[in-house]
């Protein structure tokens, strides 16, 4: 069955405003079912978590529902799903906890391809412990992150390897499973940033070889919440800093303060939305999520192929990176215009694209582009269409014509 993008677009109220959203890497629009679930949870009587009264039990159900939904999305155990305000906040919590046990001579491996949220917390934790940071480098021409280099980077002193499953800057999909195999051979942990990869295809925690994976719901049609998943037995070995009266059970001990119960309802609804992307899918929610994301991935790749071909065929556009496997994301520059200027001009035409370094700090610094404004990013999501791609390409042609006219 062909992906019914018109049907899917009808489930996003914000698309009715007429803007073209190629900024999914920075945050997608919200599905109607998510909005309704959040509103319903806010209308209902909800107390803090308690078994003593119905509103308190409702709060417990909302938390359990969100854990179960994220587990179905990632192929994880609900008891190993830690919920939090953002991927950055969760990674810092884990880095502080693990770093407390590191010592001089220990090593951590990070990559220059990653979002800074999967770099700086580990670098800072290592520095505080006197541990050594080792850097995995990407290929400057292709944007690939060669897995072979980890054989040299990972040693018997390596405690942790942090790597992205999908670059939020240029879309590169590294061979995480191969990297994880190298790390596990010496007993190192593997922390995978799945924030950009999870929205663009089925994810399986075990197949990736990830000991820990983090994802953000607002990158897959949901609210601004995040989750970090791992084996519950592993979580139980860690002792994070926490308030003495707060729960010490797993995974609660890693969650600070009272959560936003309505937003947790939205997380569950977002996973249900993904599970409905392929109406022909059957089975439990995990099976339907995988089928829905696989159908959406095929659609996104077709739309992205048209976008990438259009960008690379224009001599006034410089595309950065050409990885063999990638999420549907590309960074580029338009000749004669700063990236922020290009994004603003496109914005005036109703086209929403990001510019700058989008927190891919090490990538843009290594490429020598950060100080001059980074690049413009176009990221395709399952509600995007080839017509929107053509609209973007036509607007880029108009900007180029305007530039040539001014040069005369």
* pLDDT tens sequence across 269-327: 999 999 999 999 999 999 999 999 999 999 999 999 999 999 999 999 999 999 999 99
Q: What is the pLDDT of residues 156-203, one digit of tens each?
A: 999 999 999 999 999 999 999 999 999 999 999 999 999 999 999 999
Residues 43 and 27 in one domain: no
Residues 187 and 95 in one domain: yes
Token look-up 């990236």 returns 339
pLDDT of residue 402: 74
Residues 255 and 310 in one domain: no
Domain that holds residue 374: 5-31+286-407
pLDDT of residue 401: 87
pTM greater than 0.85: yes
Residues 292 and 389 in one domain: yes
Angle between helices 120-129 and 87-99 (to 10 degrees): 20
pLDDT of residue 310: 98
pLDDT of residue 405: 57
pLDDT of residue 326: 97
Mean pLDDT of 363-377: 97
Task: Please answer whether residues 278 and 291 qualify as being in contact, where contact means their C-beta atoms are separated by less than 8 angstroms.
Answer: yes
Mean pLDDT over the full length of the chain: 97
Most distant CA atoms of the chain, gap in Å: 77
Last residue of a domain, one of 220, 249, 274: 274
With residue 62 as reference, give the H or E element that holds it. Answer: helix 54-74
For 90-143, give the DSSP string: HHHHHHHHHHTT--TT-EEEEETTS-GGGTHHHHHHHHHHTPEEEEEPPPTTT-
Residues 233 and 153 in one domain: yes
Mean pLDDT of 20-39: 98
Residues 82 and 228 in one domain: yes
| Environment class of 37 (CB within 10 Å of its CB; exposed 0-12, middle 13-18, buried 19+) | buried
Q: Is there a domain that residue 101 lies in?
A: yes
Q: How far is CA 203 from CA 106, 116, 195, 213, 331, in A?
A: 31, 22, 11, 10, 24
pLDDT at 408 over 60: no
Q: Give the domain CATH number at 325.
A: 3.90.1150.10
Q: Is there a domain that residue 50 lies in?
A: yes
pLDDT of residue 137: 98
Task: Please answer whether residues 255 and 83 qualify as being in contact, where contact means their C-beta atoms are separated by less than 8 angstroms.
Answer: yes
Residues 82 and 105 in one domain: yes
Last residue of a domain, one of 227, 251, 274: 274
Residues 202 and 295 in one domain: no
Q: Is there a domain that residue 279 lies in?
A: no
Counting residues of the chain whose pLDDT is more than 90, the rounded percentage is: 98
Residues 317 and 270 in one domain: no
Q: Give the domain CATH number at 219.
A: 3.40.640.10
Last residue of a domain, one of 274, 295, 327: 274
Residues 55 and 198 in one domain: yes
pLDDT at 407 over 60: no
Lowest mean pLDDT among 164-178, 244-258, 352-366, 391-405: 391-405
pLDDT of residue 135: 98
Residues 13 and 130 in one domain: no
Q: Which of 29, 306, 328 is nearest to 167 (CA)?
A: 328
What's the structural domain count of the chain? 2
pLDDT of residue 2: 82
Q: What is the pLDDT of residues 100-119, one digit of tens each?
A: 999 999 999 999 999 999 99
pLDDT of residue 100: 97
Counting residues of the chain whose pLDDT is more than 70, the rounded percentage is: 98
């Amino acid at each position: 069955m062909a992906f019914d993008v018109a049907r899917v677009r009808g489930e996003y109220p914000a698309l009715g405003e007429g803007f073209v959203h190629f900024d999914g890497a920075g945050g997608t629009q919200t599905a109607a079912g998510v909005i309704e679930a959040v509103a319903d949870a806010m209308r209902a009587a909800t107390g803090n978590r308690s078994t003593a009264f119905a509103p308190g039990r409702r709060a417990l159900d909302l938390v359990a529902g969100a854990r179960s939904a994220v587990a179905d999305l990632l192929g994880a155990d609900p008891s190993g799903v830690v919920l939090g305000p953002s991927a950055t906040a969760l990674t810092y919590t884990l880095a502080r906890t693990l770093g407390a046990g590191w010592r001089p001579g220990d090593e951590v491996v990070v990559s220059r391809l990653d979002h800074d949220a999967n770099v700086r917390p580990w670098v800072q934790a290592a520095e505080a412990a006197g541990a050594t940071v080792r850097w995995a480098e990407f290929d400057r021409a292709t944007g690939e992150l060669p897995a072979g280099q980890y054989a040299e980077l990972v040693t018997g002193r390596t405690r942790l390897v942090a790597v992205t499953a999908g670059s939020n800057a240029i879309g590169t999909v590294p061979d995480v499973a191969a990297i994880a195999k190298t790390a596990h051979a010496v007993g190192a942990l593997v922390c995978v940033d799945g924030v950009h990869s999870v929205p663009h295809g089925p994810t399986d925690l075990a197949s990736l070889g990830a000991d820990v994976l983090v994802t953000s719901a607002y990158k897959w049609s949901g609210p601004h919440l995040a989750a970090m998943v791992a084996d519950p037995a592993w979580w139980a070995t860690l002792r994070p800093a926490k308030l003495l009266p707060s729960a010490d059970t797993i995974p609660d001990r890693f969650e600070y303060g009272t959560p936003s119960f309505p937003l947790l309802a939205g997380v569950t609804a977002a996973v249900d939305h993904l599970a409905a992307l392929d109406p022909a899918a059957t089975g439990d929610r995990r099976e339907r999520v995988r089928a829905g994301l696989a159908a959406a991935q095929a659609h996104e790749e077709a739309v992205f192929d048209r976008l990438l071909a259009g960008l690379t065929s224009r001599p006034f556009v410089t595309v950065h990176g050409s990885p063999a496997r990638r999420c549907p994301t590309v960074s580029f520059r338009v000749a004669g215009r700063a990236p922020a200027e290009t994004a603003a001009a496109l914005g005036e035409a109703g086209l929403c694209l990001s510019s700058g370094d989008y927190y891919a700090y090490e990538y843009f610094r290594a490429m020598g582009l950060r100080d001059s404004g980074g690049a413009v990013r176009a990221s395709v999501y399952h509600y995007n269409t080839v017509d929107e791609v053509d609209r973007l390409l036509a607007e880029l042609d108009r900007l180029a014509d305007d530039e040539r006219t001014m040069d005369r």
